[in-house]
Amino acid sequence: MKLDAVFGPLDVEYCLYFYILMVFGFIVMLLSVAKLAFSLLFGKKTESLGDSVFIVVHSLLFYFVNRLLYTMCNK
């Protein structure tokens, strides 16, 4: 068994994985921004402001990292 079979680079067709994660991350980011805006505008205090901002930042980073990996995979 060659090590390239386990540790070698994958084909470009596996870039679809990063594309799917990128789309999922973008949808989650939009939903978290909408939830933050809704709670700020209508005063819903179900979560603290810090938690909502953390969720938005986390989803933004998730989207960005997967977009970056997808770009790198295609090049």
Residue-by-residue pLDDT tens, the chain, 75 positions: 688 778 888 888 889 999 999 999 999 999 999 988 888 888 756 667 888 889 999 999 999 999 999 999 988
Q: What is the residue-wise DSSP string for 30-64?
A: HHHHHHHHHHHHH---SS-HHHHHHHHHHHHHHHH
pLDDT of res. 43 = 75
pLDDT of res. 1 = 65
CB 14 within 8 A of CB 73: yes
pLDDT of res. 44 = 59
Question: Does the global pTM surpass 0.85?
Answer: no
